[in-house]
């Protein structure tokens, strides 16, 4: 990436640093950030100073971490979906005795938007993190959003069945099933996934997931700007 003083180059560099901090666990030193982004050291140092002044990055010992301003602004991403997830997922998780994760297609990846994780499951995901390749939620979203992944031979079957399932992809000892949550215009805009011990058949969770996904879809349609305006 070329070094520039203004315009798109600076924005790309700033977001590259924020992405690198995320990839490195939220905190990293100057040398790590230079190596990860491939940007010149002087550019990284200058951009970090600017991001720190803006509150997007903050100093942490001899390194840097994501700042409070990024966290504060991120709270307003997908508010309708996250509010529904916060209200419904813990209740459904306790009733079904499974961990639940709501996943959305963004930035060419399947990103976790919200979840309700049972302590015994130790699901290695958190809001904002991308799912590893091959998970049920990722495959279901890719079946409806081909840009997310390489073509899947099972995409047609997944769309026809309305769900995807797998075992021990997200983590050893865990299985997963996922169904789609439809947006007000009828597209699959998110995946609702159940994560459960691999000894349980993940397909057994599909009926409960599907009912909740339909309720999610109806609630999203009800809260859409067109309906609120009416």
Across the range 99-107, mean pLDDT stands at 88
Tokens representing residue 216 in the block = 């999610």
Over 60: is that where the pLDDT of 143 sits?
A: yes
Cα 125 vs. chain centroid, distance in angstroms?
A: 9
Distance CA 22, CA 128 (A): 9
Q: Show me where the domains of the chain are located.
A: 8-73, 79-229
pTM score of the predicted model? 0.73
Over 90: is that where the pLDDT of 30 sits?
A: yes
pLDDT averaged over the chain? 85
Q: 36-45, 63-72, 150-159 — which one is most confidently predicted on average?
A: 36-45
Over 60: is that where the pLDDT of 166 sits?
A: yes
φ, ψ at 172 (rounded to 5°): -60, 135
pLDDT at position 1 is 40
Class for the domain spanning 79-229 = alpha beta
Q: Which residues pair with 122 in a beta bridge?
A: none
The sign of the torsion formed by the CA atoms of 134, 139, 141, 142 equals positive
Top pLDDT among 146 and 186 is at 186
The CATH code of the domain at 8-73 is: 1.10.10.10
Q: Measuring CA to CA, how many Å separate 177 from each of 12, 128, 133, 188, 203?
A: 36, 20, 14, 16, 6
Across the range 128-152, mean pLDDT stands at 83
Tokens 């009828």 correspond to what residue? 186
């Amino acid at each position: 990436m070329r070094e520039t003083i203004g315009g798109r180059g600076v924005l790309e560099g700033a977001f590259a640093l924020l992405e690198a901090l995320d990839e490195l666990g939220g905190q990293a030193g100057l040398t790590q950030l230079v190596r990860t982004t491939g940007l010149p050291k002087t550019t990284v140092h200058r951009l970090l100073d600017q991001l720190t002044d803006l509150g997007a990055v903050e100093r942490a010992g001899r390194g840097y971490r994501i700042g409070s301003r990024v966290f504060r602004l991120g709270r307003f991403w997908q508010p309708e979906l996250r509010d529904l997830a916060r209200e419904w997922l813990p209740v459904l998780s306790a009733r079904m005795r499974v961990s639940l994760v709501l996943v959305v297609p963004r930035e060419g990846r399947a990103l976790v938007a919200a979840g309700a994780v049972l302590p015994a499951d130790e699901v290695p995901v958190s809001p904002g993190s991308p799912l590893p390749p091959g998970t049920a939620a990722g495959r279901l979203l890719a079946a409806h959003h081909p840009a997310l992944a390489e073509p899947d031979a099972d995409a047609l079957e997944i769309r026809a069945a309305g769900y995807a399932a797998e075992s021990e992809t997200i983590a050893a000892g865990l299985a997963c099933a996922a169904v789609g949550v439809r947006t007000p215009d009828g597209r699959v805009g998110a995946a609702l996934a159940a994560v459960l011990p691999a000894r349980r058949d993940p397909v057994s969770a599909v009926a409960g997931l599907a009912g909740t996904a339909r309720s999610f879809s109806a609630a999203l349609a009800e809260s859409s700007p067109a309906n609120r305006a009416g």
